[in-house]
Structure 1
Amino acid sequence: MKLPFKIIALLIILSLTGVFIYQAYWLVSFYHTTSRQTDTNIENAIKNADHIELFMRADRLSTKENKQRVTGVKADVHGEVSYSTSFKKGEVNKTSHIVIKKTMRRDNAIYENERILQGNNLVNDSINIGKDQNSMEAMLRQMQQGLHSAIDINVEGINLHDFDSIMNVELKKYNLNIHHYTQIVNTKTHKVQASSLPAYMDKKKLKMYELKYDVMGAHAYQVYTEPTDGMILKQMTGILLTSFIILVILSFSFWYLIKTILMQKTVDEMKSDFTNNITHELKTPIAITYAATDALLNFNIIDNKNKREKYLRICMEQLQRLSGLVEQILSMSMEQRKTFRLNPETIQMKELADNLIEQHKIKADKPVSFTLSVEPEELTINADRAHTYNILSNLLDNAVKYSPDKADVSIFIEDEGNELSVKVTDKGIGIAPEKQTHIFDKFYRVPTGNLHNVKGFGLGLFYVRTLTEKMGGSIEVKSALGKGSTFILKLPQHENN
């Protein structure tokens, strides 16, 4: 079952649209996934930088105060875990000193802060964290927040320069080459306690990541980075370029497919028209010849010399016409065969042209005038005689057919060194510029306006171009509406000429 062309075209367009939509959806999804991963990497870089900076200060404190940093982890049979970190100079007798304990709950965790004072001096400061831990990451993060409570009051706050330097290193580990600026803020009062963000920078144009680093969530890092959209798109350059190339190839393929279907549809219509036309054209000379021979046989015309010659001439003309039609069809069939071969021989161009002119004068159904110029007169060419004859015959036939009332045709043949040039010029109706690129196409016929009696099948010029190219030559046309046309045929000259 053959589907209508409109349905085929619609299915192709729907398929292509579906591919485009799916590809766009996949690219958008990939972009969002990459964006989320980038955000996660930046957040991890902040956590890692905080961790490293924190322990750098802890080690500095141990060296400066000659205190030992002690970190302990305890677990019981119920799965509860506790961590403790403290800085001690030695053992402390807690019964003779003031002990201050503070218990807090946050995120299902218990934080116990113990401070031991001897007079006005802080002797011991530690924090214990207890929680049923199922996640090592959360466990370590809570431990890190607990360390902040112990360390931040013993050291001169966070070293922002160290943090930013460490942050740069951590970002590079994730292949993130982006600028960043850091602020330390009090989340309760929104007061900025330290900042590496230049005053002229507009925060609205930057992307902010926040990390609350202490137990109570009262203090946080606010890291500002340049927008990551451009960086992500740059990372996706290869995928985007590949997708674009695939879409272009698919679009071209679908376009070429539709074009081929349209061309095939047009060719089918032309073939149908050709079949109808050639059937009519073949029947006409057969019918006329049959009528003439019937008259000769059945109406005693054979004894009348004048009528006999008249009817025999009619038969001869119609058989010549029929022979020409069959020759064109056979020639078109032969040139498509792989076994097609040319039979070159030496041809006298003036002699060939004179014979063609005489034949076209006899067959013309209108007044016709030919002008022939061959330079030099003895000019010869080594080519296939039959096809060279048919090529020139087609050009002369068109020049006569497309001249309205009287045909005035000029033929100029000259030697151009390596080429033989043949120019056939008429003063006929001419060809519109937009039609000139199609006149050599198979089955194509130029609309003839008021010349409704011009017969043809759209094979003549196609045959001319095809055989000319097989002979190694070229054919072109120069024409203007109402001013006539000039067909320029060029065939290669061989050394034996």
Structure 2
Amino acid sequence: MWKLKIILPVLAALAIFILTQVYIVRQVWKQKDEVFSLKYRSESREAIHEMATFDPYNGFKKAYFIIDDISRLYLQKKKALLNPVDSVIFAQNLRESYTKILSEDQILSEYLSKYFDKLGLENKIKPLIYVNYIDLIDIQDNIRVYKAPLRELNNQQSGKSILVYTFNSEGNNYKIAFDYYIDIANKERTILRELSLTLILGILSFGIICAIFIATLRNYLEEKRLSNLKTDFINNMTHELKTPLSTITVAGKTLKHESVIGNREKIKETADMIGKQSLHLNEFINLILEISMWERTQFQVDRKETGVEDLLKDIAGNFRNGCGEDCKFTEHYDLKGARAEIDDLYFTTMITNLLNNAVKYSRNTAEIHLEAFSDENGINIKVADKGIGISRSEQKNIFDKFYRVSTGNIHESKGLGLGLYYVRKIAEAHGGSVRVSSRKGKGSVFIVSIPKTT
């Protein structure tokens, strides 16, 4: 739920940003399109004025001659029409015929293409002719045969084509007005190229905002994770401290009872209990202080060349004695006399922590296997169990300080989430590493690898 409260407003802000960018790009595109059209219209009219100095027909001389010639025939056909429907069809046919002639029998488009080429502009153009009206002329009168509807004129002006000029021509047998448009090849590509900087800046801005959002969210999630770990640590530390303190408090009150004061055996038993709990409390506090020291200074170990197999057998023997009936413990060594530079105390602590964790996170009777072997890369020590296992999502965090695997009630197994952190630190201090392979409900395998000397 808390993630949604964070993510939804951010997504809404991103959506607004994207819509704003789209609106800006559309407006810039519209502006660029207008500038593009204005530029070509202006240059086209300059070309037409230049052409008019040597061709008063603006390249339509042949077309006008053909239209004037066939207009006599069309006039005769028009006069013979009696049905209004036939008149409409006649007008459409006349418009199509004149449009085709004006499009095909003209040299203006070729002239404009060469003119644009000299200016370094796109010279691939397609001419479009839109007839506004056509009059057929006889001796007595002008007959308006065709007039473009207002809607059609508006559609022409709002299209993608560029209106260059409106021409008017009058011959012996006709009178016509038409708009000359041009379509520029690769118009969109040209505008897009001019818009590239705006688009790149927009994409970069979006990318930067997304990166900032992701970084901020990751930092927030990390801070929240650390805060949760800190809270769990404090709760567990309180639990670990209260247990021996409560025992010592009860034992202290017990020593005040009249029935105990005269009972030397009872006093000795109570004193032993206080001593054990005090020792446990002292070890616990020393562990916390030691972890704190690691954070302030580089972790130091006193390494000496040691026979690894003998040391592991000592650790295994002590563990077996302490484990008793609670576990089935097996071991196997294939070290071939390998030796390594080891701090005996810290190395023992590291392996013991792994063995204790195997017991702690096993159901019923723990089944634990300790194995060590040597290869060309160094010495590998494997601690395997058939316990509750660790999910893949949690495996990447288990060596972090204070992290504890979620197993329902976090107090089911005592601890501060420092054991595996301690293991990783010690392994790294020996120039090695630790890794885990585990499946939920199938058990875990921890492998410590350290360099060897021989």
- Scaled by the length of structure 2, the TM-score of the pair is 0.70
Task: State which drifts further: 382-391 or 481-490.
Answer: 382-391
Q: Does 1:30 align with 2:28?
A: yes
State how far apart, in whole Å, the 1-side matches of 2:123 and 2:434 are: 64
Change beyond 3 A, Cα 1:313–1:452: same
State how far apart, in whole Å, the 1-side matches of 2:55 and 2:334 are: 104
Per the TM alignment, residue 383 of structure 1 is displaced from its structure 2 partner at its CA by 3.6
Task: State which drifts further: 358-367 or 38-47.
Answer: 358-367
State how far apart, in whole Å, the 2-side matches of 1:371 and 1:24 are: 68
Q: Does 1:248 align with 2:207?
A: yes
Per the TM alignment, residue 272 of structure 1 is displaced from its structure 2 partner at its CA by 1.4
Quick one: which amino acid aligns to residue 177 of structure 2? A
1:456 aligns to what?
415
Change beyond 3 A, Cα 1:175–1:458: farther
Instruction: Name the SS of the counterpart of 2:53 in structure 1.
Output: helix
Q: Highest CA radius of gyration, 1 or 2?
A: 1
Per the TM alignment, residue 247 of structure 1 is displaced from its structure 2 partner at its CA by 0.9
2:122 aligns to what?
177
Per the TM alignment, residue 320 of structure 1 is displaced from its structure 2 partner at its CA by 4.3
Quick one: which amino acid aligns to residue 163 of structure 2? Y
Per the TM alignment, residue 251 of structure 1 is displaced from its structure 2 partner at its CA by 0.7
Which of 141, 157, 166 is the aligned partner of 1:212? 166
State how far apart, in whole Å, the 2-side matches of 1:240 and 1:188 are: 44
Per-residue CA deviation, residues 417-453 of structure 1 (Å, 9 max, x unaligned), is 2321010011222223343333334433223359963
Which of 402, 406, 420 is the aligned partner of 2:365? 406
Q: Does 1:53 align with 2:51?
A: yes
Which of 399, 408, 411 is the aligned partner of 1:440? 399
Per-residue CA deviation, residues 231-272 of structure 1 (Å, 9 max, x unaligned), is 322432343234223312211210221222122123212211
Number of residues paired by the alignment? 384
2:316 aligns to what?
357
Matches within 5 A, 1:95-494: 163-172=108-117, 176-177=121-122, 179-182=124-127, 187-189=132-134, 207-213=161-167, 218-226=177-185, 228-292=187-251, 295=254, 307=266, 310-361=269-320, 363-364=322-323, 367-376=326-335, 378-448=337-407, 453-493=412-452
Instruction: Name the SS of the counterpart of 1:403 in structure 2.
Output: coil
Quick one: which amino acid aligns to residue 40 of structure 2? I
Per the TM alignment, residue 477 of structure 1 is displaced from its structure 2 partner at its CA by 1.7
Instruction: Name the SS of the counterpart of 1:24 in structure 2.
Output: helix
Instruction: Name the SS of the counterpart of 1:30 in structure 2.
Output: helix
Q: Does the 8 Å CA contact 2:236/2:411 hold for their aligned counterparts?
A: no
Per-residue CA deviation, residues 53-108 of structure 1 (Å, 9 max, x unaligned), is 222437x9xxxxxxxxxxxxxxxxxxxxxxxxxxxxxxxxxxxxxxxxxxxxxxxx
Change beyond 3 A, Cα 1:32–1:184: closer
Q: Does the 8 Å CA contact 1:41/1:174 hold for their aligned counterparts?
A: no
Q: Report 1 or 2 for greater relative contact order, CA contacts < 8 Å, sequence distance ≥ 6.
A: 2
2:83 aligns to what?
none
Runs of at least 5 residues in structure 1 that lack an aligned partner in the other structure: 61-156, 192-203
Quick one: which amino acid aligns to residue 28 of structure 1? R
State how far apart, in whole Å, the 1-side matches of 2:249 and 2:306 are: 38
Per the TM alignment, residue 161 of structure 1 is displaced from its structure 2 partner at its CA by 6.9
Per-residue CA deviation, residues 198-217 of structure 1 (Å, 9 max, x unaligned), is xxxxxx99735341145999
1:64 aligns to what?
none
Identical amino acids, percent of aligned pairs: 27
Change beyond 3 A, Cα 1:458–1:18: same
Please identify which structure carries the higher strand content: 1
State how far apart, in whole Å, the 1-side matches of 2:300 and 2:135 are: 94
Change beyond 3 A, Cα 1:177–1:446: same
Per the TM alignment, residue 401 of structure 1 is displaced from its structure 2 partner at its CA by 0.5
State how far apart, in whole Å, the 1-side matches of 2:223 and 2:435 are: 26
Change beyond 3 A, Cα 1:478–1:18: same
Instruction: Name the SS of the counterpart of 1:257 in structure 2.
Output: helix
